[in-house]
Amino acid sequence: MSSTLARGLELLFLFVLLPISFLFDYHILIKVGITLVGFIYILLHLRRSGLLKLKKPNKLTWKPFWKETIIKLAIIIIVTSLYVFWIAPDKLFSVLLKKPGLWLMILFIYTFLSVWPQEIIYRTFFYDRYEALLKNKWLFIFINAILFSLAHIFLRSFLVQLLTFVGGLLFAFTYQRTKSTTLVSIEHAIYGNWLFTVGMGDMLAFPGAD
């Protein structure tokens, strides 16, 4: 079996068939087990490739990164604040104001137990394994965003699918330019934590304030 075919089948299993399988009703322990095996497989590959080591981003990338991130965040703040105010005004900053302890816990859990694993899988591993399969970088970014959105299909929410697709585009573009897991994880954490802060936690399957 050629290396290209093997990688293609690997991508199909890990990033298409596995997420779709979570839509079916089978024991949660089997789902967790398959996910853990897949994640361990990815970590072992990244370790062999030396990509699990924390690397300080090139200092030349920090200034443009923060400039672009702040601009994008400003747009996200305006759009999401208006959306929550229009759709569910009672949810606007509800967790932050009513349950600050829960809010802090969500930010911590999301940042360290959700963001980093997602970026390790969908940017660091995905780019290392499959970038050479497709020469068109814009098409590659689009595919990465589609598959990143597909990873959240088990939540059965159009809003989640839409937001993760848009986020996937932003994160893939950042990683495409910087090749930095640290930078893309920071960006991911900033946007995601803002969504929980503004009051979209319930909409995104996270606990919210009553």
pLDDT digits (tens, 9 = 90+) for 47-89: 998 888 777 787 778 999 999 999 999 999 999 999 999 999 9
pLDDT at 105 over 70: yes
Instruction: Compute the distance between CA of residue 122 and CA of residue 93 in angstroms, rounded to an integer.
Output: 30
How far is the CA of 148 from the CAs of 45, 62, 123, in angstroms? 20, 25, 9
Domain boundaries, the chain: 3-204
Instruction: Compute the distance between CA of residue 162 and CA of residue 147 in angstroms, rounded to an integer.
Output: 12
pLDDT at 2 over 90: no
Mean pLDDT of the region 194-202: 91
Number of neighbours of residue 151 by Cβ within 10 angstroms: 19
pLDDT at 209 over 80: no
DSSP letter for 154, please.
G
Q: What percent of the chain has pLDDT over 90?
A: 76
Helix, coil or strand: residue 90: helix
pLDDT for residue 178: 93
Residue 206: pLDDT band by 50, 70, 90 thresholds? Answer: low
pLDDT at 189 over 90: yes
How far is the CA of 131 from the CAs of 4, 126, 172, 187, in angstroms? 11, 7, 11, 21
Report helix, strand and coil shares of the chain as percent, to nearest 5.
80, 0, 20
Instruction: Compute the distance between CA of residue 120 and CA of residue 66 in angstroms, rounded to an integer.
Output: 21
Cα 196 to the chain's mean position, in Å? Answer: 14
Residue 169, C-beta contacts closer than 8 angstroms, at least 6 positions apart: 141, 142, 145
- How do residues 112-170 score in pLDDT, each as one tens digit? 999 999 999 999 999 999 999 998 999 999 999 999 999 999 988 899 999 999 999 99
Instruction: State the average pLDDT for the chain.
Output: 92
